[in-house]
Amino acid sequence: MNIIEVKNLTKDYGSGRGVFDVSFSVNTGEVFGFLGPNGAGKSTTIRHLMGFSKPDSGETCLFGKPTFEKYSEILSRVGYIPGEIALPTGLTGAEFIRMMQDMQGIHNDERLARMLDMFKVDNRMLRGETKRMSLGEKRKLAVVVAFMHDPEVLILDEPTSGLDPVMQNNFIEFIREEKRCGKTILLSSHIFSEVDATCDRIAIIKDGKIVSEFVADDLKHASLKYYEIKFMSTKDAADFIKKSERVASLQILKNGDDTLYLSIEDKDMNSTISLLSEYEIKKFSNRRESLEDYFMKFYKEEKDFGGALS
């Protein structure tokens, strides 16, 4: 069953800003990665999915219900971490937690205690005023609040932004645990390692449009491989580039004088080895196509990725 559905969502803010005919769905127990740089449309999509904004056209649904019209009916079943944390002023950390428990209608003190311990929210933070908290402290508090009522669905917008590396690792392990428990999770991020470590399927968004959607394991087992080859001389490397046209799938990705970075399909590996046998080689190494490699195909012409390489 599709727990999360985005159907032909369009919100046009003008000047090319917004999201345009975005569609995807997330099945029960699935972790879906929504990958793109800052400004690509991830947060706009999520705000509509949470029912905070009304689409120009299209629809967003949770549990089969349109979120803009039925927001109050789904709140207690969803854990949400916003991309930008803006906690209410005039409250301590503990008071904010109690306020959110009342709004969610669920007081699970055992679960709350576990969350506070896992994300190192100590008594000092709980007694402190939200307006005096650092970005990392606010983010940890937001994580605790999103998970403390043990929701069925998690909608996470850049959830580890502002967290230190230890807390980022704790978060990834927790998402894996929630996945094992059958939770349905939408993870919006620009951090490749975070998406790669947790997601079953991934969509890439660019300029407000979905440009690719794929099963994560398909990428990990793809036949396209990447190689670094260091020749004895720049002349040999240049000669190899000329002759590389003989191999159908071989692409030169980067020319570093005597060192070339290239990609080849498995089916053309024997032809490539035969061609390389004409030269003396100093170094030959390979790796599979990473999520970052695949992502950068869609952004390779951009000069500024707005945090896409974080």
pLDDT at 171: 94
How does DSSP classify residue 237? H
Residues ≥6 apart with Cβ < 8 Å to 306 = 37, 38, 39
Average pLDDT, the chain: 92
Q: Are 159 and 143 in contact (CB under 8 A)?
A: yes
pTM score, whole prediction: 0.81
Domain with CATH 3.40.50.300 in the chain: 2-215
Looking at 3.90.1150.10, 3.30.70.3340, 3.40.50.300, 2.70.98.10, the CATH number of the domain 2-215 comes to: 3.40.50.300
pLDDT digits (tens, 9 = 90+) for 195-209: 999 999 999 999 999
Which residue type, as a one-letter code, is found at position 272?
T
Helices (H) and strands (E) in the chain, counts: 12, 14
Residue-wise DSSP of 266-309: GGGHHHHHHHHTTS-EEEEEEEEPPHHHHHHHHHTT-S--TTTT
Residue 183, both tokens: 């939770």
For residue 299, give the amino acid letter.
Y
Q: From 83, 109, 84, 85, select the one nearest 97 (Cα to Cα).
A: 109
For CATH 3.30.70.250, list the domain ranges present in the chain. Answer: 223-288
> pLDDT tens-digit profile of 75-98?
889 999 999 999 999 999 999 999
CA distance 163 to 183: 23
Domain 223-288: give its CATH architecture.
2-Layer Sandwich (3.30)
